[in-house]
Structure 1
Amino acid sequence: MTGPRSGGATTVRAAGTVLWRRAPAGGVEIALVHRPRYDDWSLPKGKLKRDEDFAAAAVRETEEETGMRCVLGASLPVSRYLVEGRPKEVRYWSAEAVDGGFTPNDEVDRVVWLPPTTARHRLTHDRDRPVVDAFVETVGA
């Protein structure tokens, strides 16, 4: 994959969302995805395709992983970390779910909708928590 270089390794470029909807009892819920390959709970995200921009990738990956179409809102913090020795950069947005429905697949076998505080604690990776925190500050959830 082409992209920025860091220390000689090509940076993996990815994009994702904090997908949210209005909760029936008030407030908001956010979606987390369970990836059986890693047995983890994560925010919906994925790698950019060739010549795809970050925002388009965020919308596409969110729909592929959750079955939900969404409208992007505010940009959220970028997450940077190493995966198998390669730098990875994930750009995130707040995204309101507008319609659709989840169907389990090989990549994601479960989606849960949780209040932000509960979702924050369910996340497997600490690096995802600041993204949720920024979402809560941005939308006042």
Structure 2
Amino acid sequence: MHDLIASPFLERHLLLRPGRRGGLLLPEAQYEELRSLNPADPAPSWFVDAVHAQWSMSVTGRCTGDFLLVRQPSVWGYSRASWEINLGCNYQCKHCYLGLKVYSGMPLADKLTCLRVMHDAGVLWLQITGGEPTVDKDFVPPTVPRSSSA
């Protein structure tokens, strides 16, 4: 996973840090400058300063290919997607629209194809819904780092 993502967003361009709040709105010229960089190139000084100011992150002297993904413009212009991964649920909510709550969904190969299509379409934000997504047999729970006790 990349530390930073520069991407078209609707009619604009964003610089984002996955898992962090906030982002930067990039002028088109700066986005295009990032697109033209070779992965072995260092980041431009304006970029180094902006990243440090926004996230207190140092990228000085690093090759951009080591930390930056520059998403290419998509013909679809998508930035967000919502995916109903299954119809199963382990709750009994009275307001639920699912009815029978059948634990069904696509095979893993088809799910991976969907993810590739969304990636290629330029999706930056993905909302996974269900039923309850975490009961899907292919849903992998996030790993939580264990704190060391001394």
| TM-score (structure 1 length as normaliser) | 0.24
Which has the higher relative contact order, 1 or 2, with Cα contacts under 8 A spaced 6 or more apart? 1
Higher strand share: 1
> Which protein shows a greater Rg?
2
